[in-house]
Structures are given as C-alpha cells and as structure tokens.
C-alpha cells in the first residue's frame, strides 16, 4: 500500500516527477533548466552578470555558457558596465516558460487547499531542519 512507503520514498518520487515536468516545460522552448533559472533571475530587471553567476553557482551546469547562449539567441543583452537583462524577446520567452512552469506548480497542488499546501511546505522545511541539526550542519542553513 502507498501509505506504508516512508517519507524518503515520497520525497524522492515527487522530486523526480517535478524534475520531469519542469524539464518538459522548458524543453518545449529548446531550453534546459539552467536556461530557465537564468531567465527567471533576470526577469526583475538589469543585474550584474557576476551576481547571476554567483547566485546560481550551487546548481549543476555552466551558468556563464548559458548566459552566452541566451545572448546569442537575442534573449539577454549585456551592457558595457557588466549588466545583463532580458531583451523584449527574452521577456516574451520568460513569460511563456513561466506560464508552463506555473502549470506544473498548479498540478502539484491539485486537490490541496491553500492551508494544506502551506502546512506541507512548513512540515517539509521543519523535517529538513531536523535532519540538518541531527547531521550537525551549521546554523548557516536558511530557515523558513
């Protein structure tokens, strides 16, 4: 029975399904997840390219190569001052992918009330904090 599976199984299963769904959403635009992360981080406006690279350094993939690819597509512009930002075409691409990723997020919450969803996030965050503490991870971990 599904109820007998441990929390770790469900977390891994959900993570794999979320990865699959988000990958399908971004692949439809000829992108990788890293492309999406860069596009999304630039959606708020111009930012120093070094800040984008630093903010995504913990993820796999070469972010600098992704930025260069997005510049070549005409979706990101670079200023002489080292700033990067979405072009008109880049903003349109971000909007398309954002809608697709939004559908994934809505699907994952189907049948849940807002309170159930928020409670689930709170419980998972607390479980992660419990395991960080049990494993002796420092207090430098973000708290939710």
Q: Given a cut of 90, is residue 144 above it in pLDDT?
A: no
Please state the pTM of the whole predicted model.
0.74
| Whether residue 142 has pLDDT greater than 90 | no
Which domain covers residue 53, as residue numbers?
2-108
The answer to whether residue 103 is domain-embedded is yes
The answer as to whether 142 is a domain residue is no
Q: What is the predicted pLDDT for the residue at 23?
A: 92
Least confident residue range of 38-52, 72-86, 105-119, 127-141: 127-141
User: What is the domain-level CATH number for residue 91?
Assistant: 1.10.10.10
How many domains does the structure of the chain reveal? 1
- DSSP annotation of 125: H
**Is residue 140 in a domain?**
no
**Do the domain assignments include residue 7?**
yes
């Amino acid at each position: 029975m599904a109820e007998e599976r441990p929390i770790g199984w469900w977390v891994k299963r959900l993570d794999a399904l979320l990865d699959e769904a988000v990958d399908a959403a971004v692949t439809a635009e000829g992108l990788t997840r890293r492309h999406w992360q860069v596009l999304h981080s630039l959606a708020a406006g111009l930012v120093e390219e070094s800040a984008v690279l630093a903010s995504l350094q913990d993820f796999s993939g070469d972010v600098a190569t992704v930025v260069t690819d997005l510049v070549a597509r005409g979706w990101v512009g670079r200023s002489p001052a080292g700033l990067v930002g979405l072009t008109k075409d880049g903003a349109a691409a971000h909007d398309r992918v954002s809608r697709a990723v939004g559908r994934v997020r809505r699907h994952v919450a189907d049948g849940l009330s807002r309170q159930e969803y928020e409670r689930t996030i709170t419980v998972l965050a607390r479980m992660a904090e419990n395991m960080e503490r049990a494993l002796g991870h420092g207090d430098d971990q973000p708290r939710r």
